[in-house]
Structure 1
């Protein structure tokens, strides 16, 4: 009698186990209940397997938290689920979902820092990005640079214009640190490969001049030519006389127009008043502008004037430059 009862229990247990395994296999390979466009799903740091499984069931994406937990444990992945934001595509099964959550292939967001932006524009773009975790609100420029490990550095021009990819929850500080390191690495490489004999004593001077070139033209092919003009003027001890430095020195007083009185205003950035370079960059230069400054075009031109079509007319003499000004600026 005892052996018969034991046999019945073993048979019943085997049938139950077989039924559970069949049900688990069916569950594991049945597509999730997701909209056709898929969904964004976020696992917060510290979430357990039970919490994730329960949340998936509560949202209606899976029909059994128990089977999801069992599947993860049988596959040895119970403790390997990674936090982050994931995109769950339509057609995903619980098994492929588990593989995704274990892989850590989270959604990457993007933010582009544009060539020629100033630090204020950088901070506005960073503050406006919803995927970033904001920790710098209300801090001064000096406090931000201190947190970035450069307490005595002016922030202008210190962040490389580029498109950056990052997961949701990245801090604004980490984002800026990454862009800052990218600029430092680029500047180091470009400075090491610079042309000999340039009137630039330090990488910072190259960065300052590159920021001016960046603001002077959006036409990539002209950057080496404009850099050449400024390099020759520096060699000759001529004032750079570039409007973007005047505008930067005016700050909030700039209303869209430069007047004669503005050209005479004695700010540290007014290159009509002061010889040499301004004290800091005036914008974020891109890689092309920096390369142009360290490999300027050869020639004799010392002046240039905007032609009104995004390009410039270059002149070697003041008389030629004045004729170009009358033609393109004064329309005479």
Structure 2
């Protein structure tokens, strides 16, 4: 056999061998993997192909880092793999893993911010969420963070979450303000937000929000002080959270612009972060002639038109307090 034929035969053999290897590798890449139970794996930002392969191998997702790397090169996915937190199903193939990493199908996490928290309390919530990253560099204004359930991915920044909450509050307030009723006793969205924060803290009963808002609207129109206990608590704690004890008559005399027993009109700003429903309530309050309300012992409130009627409701509430553990607020 001449040298030419030998070279041609060798090249053919090499081609056949390479094709066989490719077929074998393709079958292995598509075959079920070794994972027996579902697992969550974090692929750190900045990881190269080898680091990703080793991370997946250590977690038991792939059997061979080399085969994973070969599969990534065969499919052209080397530069398309995305960092993040991934949930892998039992038996997932290398091909399936590569598809998840290419598409960035990361675990979707949820953070729920309840209505009525102060900014300080929301920042604590963010700080305690281990899946978020980065420091909180500044404290946003009170009332500027919309309570809601937020979806995020592992490694998202705390500052980014704050920006999302701020943007959501701006949008919710602007939308509600555009549909407000006429004749309200406040002139700006900021003042509406302040009153909404008081309503949010006064009642957790959805059906009562517009009625409670109507009481405060009546008081503002009548030149009465709002006399809201939550504003006293905010003044005493400087917005840090709960007071940890019942209010006293001395507390009502605390000299602060946030104390609506001491100061006229609305406080200088919100006392918490109100939800959408509370904002809607103050911009579309119930129309009635109630000026007072007090807890009724059932989780709601008893409303009254006159001080004499209110005092009778307060007496009933105090009797309830004596029979059960707990405390309530009255206005």
Is 2:256 the counterpart of 1:270?
no
Q: Which secondary structure state, in structure 2, belongs to the residue aligned with residue 281 of structure 1?
A: coil
* Cα separation, partners in 2 of 1:24 and 1:208, compared to 1, 3 Å: same
Correspondence 1:249-264 to 2 at 5 A? 249-251=235-237, 254-264=243-253
Q: Which secondary structure state, in structure 1, belongs to the residue aligned with residue 10 of structure 2?
A: helix
Is 2:60 the counterpart of 1:35?
no
For 1:185, which of 171, 176, 181 is the aligned residue? 171
RMSD (Å), alpha carbons: 1.9
CA distance in 1, matches of 2:71, 2:234: 62
Q: Which sections of structure 2, spanning at least 5 residues, go unmatched?
A: 323-331
- Length, aligned pairs only: 317
For 1:220, which of 199, 202, 206 is the aligned residue? 206
CA distance in 2, matches of 1:25, 1:74: 9
CA apart distance, 1:227 = 0.2
User: Is the 2:41–2:56 contact (alpha carbons within 8 Å) kept by the matching residues of 1?
Assistant: no
CA apart distance, 1:51 = 3.0
Q: Which secondary structure state, in structure 2, belongs to the residue aligned with residue 79 of structure 1?
A: helix
Q: For residue 25 of structure 2, what is the aligned residue in structure 1?
A: 24
Q: For residue 127 of structure 2, what is the aligned residue in structure 1?
A: 127
Q: For residue 277 of structure 2, what is the aligned residue in structure 1?
A: 288
Q: For residue 146 of structure 2, what is the aligned residue in structure 1?
A: 160
What is the CA deviation profile of residues 154-174 of structure 1, one whole-angstrom value per residue up to 9, with x for unaligned ones?
A: x21110001111111111111
CA apart distance, 1:120 = 1.9
For 1:241, which of 227, 237, 248 is the aligned residue? 227
* Cα separation, partners in 2 of 1:56 and 1:254, compared to 1, 3 Å: closer
Q: Which secondary structure state, in structure 1, belongs to the residue aligned with residue 11 of structure 2?
A: helix
Is 2:306 the counterpart of 1:311?
no
Q: For residue 74 of structure 1, what is the aligned residue in structure 2?
A: 74
CA distance in 2, matches of 1:57, 1:270: 60
The farther-off stretch of 301-310 and 65-74 is 65-74
CA apart distance, 1:58 = 5.0
User: Is the 1:127–1:134 contact (alpha carbons within 8 Å) kept by the matching residues of 2?
Assistant: no
Q: For residue 109 of structure 2, what is the aligned residue in structure 1?
A: 109
User: Is the 2:41–2:59 contact (alpha carbons within 8 Å) kept by the matching residues of 1?
Assistant: no
Q: For residue 144 of structure 1, what is the aligned residue in structure 2?
A: 139
The 4+ residue runs of structure 1 with deviation greater than 6 A are none
Q: Which sections of structure 1, spanning at least 5 residues, go unmatched?
A: 146-154
What is the CA deviation profile of residues 133-167 of structure 1, one whole-angstrom value per residue up to 9, with x for unaligned ones?
A: 1312xx6xxx433xxxxxxxxx2111000111111
User: Is the 1:107–1:168 contact (alpha carbons within 8 Å) kept by the matching residues of 2?
Assistant: yes
Q: Which secondary structure state, in structure 1, belongs to the residue aligned with residue 79 of structure 2?
A: coil
Q: For residue 216 of structure 2, what is the aligned residue in structure 1?
A: 230
User: Is the 1:233–1:239 contact (alpha carbons within 8 Å) kept by the matching residues of 2?
Assistant: yes
What is the CA deviation profile of residues 149-208 of structure 1, one whole-angstrom value per residue up to 9, with x for unaligned ones?
A: xxxxxx211100011111111111111111111101101111111111100111110000
Is 2:314 the counterpart of 1:328?
no
User: Is the 1:207–1:290 contact (alpha carbons within 8 Å) kept by the matching residues of 2?
Assistant: yes
User: Is the 1:307–1:329 contact (alpha carbons within 8 Å) kept by the matching residues of 2?
Assistant: no
Is 2:10 the counterpart of 1:9?
yes
